[in-house]
Amino acid sequence: MGGWPMLDIKYIRSHPEQVEEALKKRNLVGALDQFLDLDRQWRKILVQVEDLKKFRNSASQEVGKLKKAGQDAGELQDKVRQVGQEIKALDDQVKELETSMDAILLNVPNLPHESVPVGPDEESNLEMRRWGEPPKFDFEPQAHWDLGPGLDILDFERASRLSGARFTVYKGAGARLERAVINFYLDVHTSKHGYREIWTPFMVNADCMMGTGQLPKFAEDMFKIEGREMYLVPTAEVPLTNLHREEILDGADLPLYFTAYTPCFRAEAGAAGRDTRGIIRQHQFNKVELVKLTRPENSYEELEKLTADAEEVLQLLGLPYRVVLLSTGDMGFSSAKTYDLEVWMPSYNTYKEISSCSNCEDFQARRANIRYRPEPKARPQYVHTLNGSGVAVGRTVAAILENYQQADGSIVVPEVLRPYMGGLDKITREGR
RNA sequence: GGAGAGAUGGCCGAGUAGGCUGAAGGCGCUCGCCUGCUAAGCGAGUAUAGGGUUUGUAGCUCUAUCGCGGGUUCGAAUCCCGCUCUCUCCGCCA
């Protein structure tokens, strides 16, 4: 196959019913009928063309020998020339079939893990646990989109003048708070959880987007650079996971833990009217991401640890949250199992997603061709890739403003952030 | 932006008047031998993907791959065209 096989083709061939069954959980029916048909054709023609190539190889050698011996090879040459035409025709067919098969497979999502609740949408999600208590206010709490402008640390009006809707200007202590959260997250994950800090390009090529599964299906969700095959990263998951694309890693080096801060750019197509106020849903937001490349046998263990790593920063910040296991209908395209972390947001009077931690198993590894050698001589296998927000920075700031607000509209700075804020313990209008 | 050079296996590095080179040689690595230990030495092995066969991710076999794509040819790592990337010099710039 030329492109990016997503599900294991051999597995699909030998277990079509299981695959159909699994895809049904994701509301996909009959997705593979056509594929299996194409596959049969493909293999048939492949056998033919390889046979002809075998003939061409030996006949060409024969021609060489004849010529060296000073004999005439004209007849054989003519024959091979004819075969060459046939080969070209069949090769074209093979290529066409591969293109069609890729087109199908690239649009088929990952198969859900057996522990994932089956259901059509988020209604079937499963709450796993809660941490912390939502704060009780003895005054009318404000939303961050009122608190921020009130303190003159968030400026939505001027941001829209600069860039339009879904952008925010941070000012003074607000800007510093954003930066403090970024640094705090990176410090915790690198020094306490063993992740290696990476600084990545914020623009990547289409192969990367294909590798992690944003392309080809979700092109409209991203910002593409005019006139180039380049995209603004929608999440650091893309550059981090693709870091070892097309490589065979040494099994002794696994697992690999990466963390990176990047801004994230999303078109938010289809989200018109949702979360229009505040900094919850922006075209540009900051995030510290966690990515792991692991051996298949312990990727689920690693998912639990990764989720716990993301949870810990919320605990350290004292932000109440809950952990939700997404159902088959609510999971992302590339994921086999996803936990969402949802932080308490007083303005919504509910928990709001602040992190999404997924095990993609070998789905992305196949697309991006990331393999490892279990033992020195063993044949390469696909790694499992995991990713999780560790966590979204903008939403963290929103949560801090709302959960730590005081009656006078000031904000108490969470203790762990004060070293990052020059010792500032409270954001006030006067001290902004 | 202007001028030039180059892209070969895990690495280094041969290979251009096209033929049996998946690819010399070296290093590294694996296994075995040897050695009081270590080092050195000796021997063997050491790319990836796909198809066929098969109970089989074993074996056997075929095809493909010398940056990517196309062309010429009976036959291309070797010739031609396009692209990408890397490096050097000049200019410019944070």
Decide: CB of A77 under 7 A of nucleic strand B: yes
Average pLDDT of chain A is 93
Is the predicted pLDDT of residue A3 greater than 50, yes or no? no
When pLDDT is averaged across residues A251-279 and rounded to a whole number, the result is 93
Residue with tokens 């054709």: A41
Decide: CB of A56 under 7 A of nucleic strand B: yes
Nucleotides of B under 7 A from a protein CB: 10, 19-20, 29-30, 48-52, 57, 62-64, 70-71, 73-75
Q: Give the Cα-Cα-Cα angle A137, A415, A403 (nearest 5 degrees).
A: 25
Q: Name residues 366-425 of chain A with a Cβ under 7 Å from nucleic strand B.
A: 371, 373, 376-377, 379-380
Decide: A299 and A364 in contact? Cβ < 8 Å. Answer: no
Of all nucleotides, the one whose C1′ comes closest to residue A79's CA is B74
Cis, bond preceding A391 (omega within 30 deg of 0):
yes
CA distance A369 to A315: 36
Decide: A310 and A340 in contact? Cβ < 8 Å. Answer: no
- Which residues are bridge partners to A155 per DSSP? A169
What's the pLDDT score for residue A266? 96
Is the predicted pLDDT of residue A228 greater than 60, yes or no? yes
Can you list the alpha helix ranges (DSSP code H) found in A319-368?
363-368
Structure confidence at residue A5 as a pLDDT band (50, 70, 90): low
> What does the pLDDT look like over A191-225, one tens digit per residue?
999 999 999 999 999 999 999 999 999 999 999 98
Neighbours of A14 (CB within 10 A): 10
> What does the pLDDT look like over A45-73, one tens digit per residue?
999 999 999 999 999 999 988 888 888 88
A334, A335, A347, A356: the active-site residue: A356
CA distance A407 to A4: 56
Decide: CB of A81 under 7 A of nucleic strand B: yes
When pLDDT is averaged across residues A278-306 and rounded to a whole number, the result is 96
Decide: CB of A60 under 7 A of nucleic strand B: yes
Decide: A357 and A303 in contact? Cβ < 8 Å. Answer: yes
What's the pLDDT score for residue A421? 97
A213 CA vs B93 C1’ separation (Å): 36
CA distance A167 to A27: 34
When pLDDT is averaged across residues A281-310 and rounded to a whole number, the result is 97
Sheet holding A370-373, edge to edge: A247-250, A370-373, A381-382
CA distance A96 to A123: 41
Is the predicted pLDDT of residue A432 greater than 50, yes or no? yes
| CA distance to A19, A253, A300, A303, per residue, from A297 (Å) | 21, 15, 8, 12
Residue with tokens 């060296």: A68
**Closest C-alpha among A96, A100, A105 to residue A45:** A96
| CA distance to A204, A239, A348, A391, per residue, from A230 (Å) | 5, 12, 36, 25
Decide: CB of A206 under 7 A of nucleic strand B: no
Decide: CB of A61 under 7 A of nucleic strand B: yes
When pLDDT is averaged across residues A86-112 and rounded to a whole number, the result is 93
Average the pLDDT over each of A70-84, A187-201, A354-368 and give the range with the smallest value: A70-84
